[in-house]
Structure 1
Amino acid sequence: MYIKQVIRNRENWWYYIFGIVLIVPAMTILFSIPHGVAIAVKAFGDEELTKKLAENDINVMMTILESNLNLFLMLFSFLGMLLGVFLTVKFIHKNSIRELTTSRSSIDWNRVFFSFLLCGSVSVIMIGIDYNFISTADYAWNFKPIPFLILFLICIVMIPIQTSAEEYLFRGYLMQGIGVITKVRWAPLLLTSILFGLMHYANPEIDKLGYGVYIFYIGSGLFAGIATLMDEGMELALGWHAANNFFTALLVTADWTALQTHSVLKDISNPQSLPLEEVLIPVLIFFPIYLYIFAKKYQWNNWSDKLFGKI
Structure 2
Amino acid sequence: MYIEQALKPKNEWWNYLFGLLIIFIGWQLVGVIPLIGTAFVKASDLQEFEAAAQNNFLGLGIDKNLYLILIIFSFAMGLLALFFAAKQLNRQSIKELTTSRNKIDWARIRFSFFLVIGMSSILFLISYFTESEIYTWNFKAVPFLILFLVSVLLLPLQTSFEEYLFRGYLMQGLGVITKNKWFPLLFTSVIFGLLHGLNPEVAKLGNVMMVFYIGTGLLLGIMTLMDDGMELALGFHAANNILAAILVTTDWSALQTDALFIDTSEPSAGLDIILPVLIQYPIIIFIMAKKYKWSGWKEKLFGKVKSDIVLNQ
- TM-score, structure 2 as length reference: 0.94
Residue 284, structure 1, aligned to residue 281, structure 2: no
Which residue of structure 2 aligns with residue 89 of structure 1?
86
Instruction: Within 5 Å, give how 1:76-115 maps onto structure 2.
Output: 76-115=73-112
Which residue of structure 1 aligns with residue 3 of structure 2?
3
Indicate if the aligned counterparts of 2:52 and 2:60 stay in contact, CA closer than 8 A: no
Cα deviation digits, residues 84-139 of structure 1 (max 9, x gap): 11001111111111000000000000000000000111111111211122x21111
**How many percent of aligned residue pairs carry the same amino acid?**
50
Give the partner amino acid of 1:6: A
Q: What is the alpha-carbon distance in structure 1 between the residues aligned to residue 50 and residue 120 of structure 2?
A: 39
Instruction: Within 5 Å, give how 1:37-186 maps onto structure 2.
Output: 37-45=37-45, 47=47, 49-50=48-49, 52-53=51-52, 56-58=54-56, 61=58, 64-133=61-130, 135-186=131-182
Cα deviation digits, residues 55-107 of structure 1 (max 9, x gap): x134x526631111111111111001111110011111111110000000000
Deviation at 1:10, TM superposition (A): 1.7
Give the partner amino acid of 1:43: A
Give the match's secondary structure for 1:61: coil
Which aligned segments of 4 or more residues in structure 1 are displaced greater than 6 angstroms? Answer: none
Which residue of structure 2 aligns with residue 27 of structure 1?
26
Q: Is there any run of 5+ residues in structure 2 with no aligned partner, and where?
A: 306-313
Instruction: Within 5 Å, give how 1:146-295 maps onto structure 2.
Output: 146-271=142-267, 273-275=268-270, 277-295=271-289
CA separation of 1:238/1:109 partners in 2, compared to 1, >3 Å: closer, same or farther? Answer: same
Cα deviation digits, residues 215-241 of structure 1 (max 9, x gap): 000000000000000000000000000
Q: Is there any run of 5+ residues in structure 1 with no aligned partner, and where?
A: none
Q: What is the alpha-carbon distance in structure 2 between the residues aligned to residue 51 and residue 27 of structure 1?
A: 23
Cα deviation digits, residues 118-173 of structure 1 (max 9, x gap): 0111111111211122x211111111111000001110121110000000000000
Deviation at 1:269, TM superposition (A): 1.1
Indicate if the aligned counterparts of 1:34 and 1:73 stay in contact, CA closer than 8 A: yes
Deviation at 1:51, TM superposition (A): 5.1
Q: What is the alpha-carbon distance in structure 2 between the residues aligned to residue 163 and residue 62 of structure 1?
A: 25
Deviation at 1:209, TM superposition (A): 0.7
- TM-score, structure 1 as length reference: 0.95
Indicate if the aligned counterparts of 1:62 and 1:258 stay in contact, CA closer than 8 A: no
Give the partner amino acid of 2:25: A
Q: Between Structure 1 and Structure 2, which shows a larger proportion of helix residues? A: 1
Q: What is the alpha-carbon distance in structure 1 between the residues aligned to residue 41 and residue 123 of structure 2?
A: 40
Q: What is the alpha-carbon distance in structure 2 between the residues aligned to residue 310 and residue 141 of structure 1?
A: 52
Q: What is the alpha-carbon distance in structure 1 between the residues aligned to residue 92 and residue 45 of structure 2?
A: 49
CA separation of 1:268/1:9 partners in 2, compared to 1, >3 Å: closer, same or farther? Answer: same
Q: Alignment RMSD, CA only? A: 1.3
Q: What is the alpha-carbon distance in structure 1 between the residues aligned to residue 119 and residue 59 of structure 2?
A: 28
Indicate if the aligned counterparts of 1:39 and 1:64 stay in contact, CA closer than 8 A: no
Deviation at 1:53, TM superposition (A): 2.2
State the aligned residue count: 304
Give the match's secondary structure for 1:9: coil
Indicate if the aligned counterparts of 1:109 and 1:235 stay in contact, CA closer than 8 A: yes
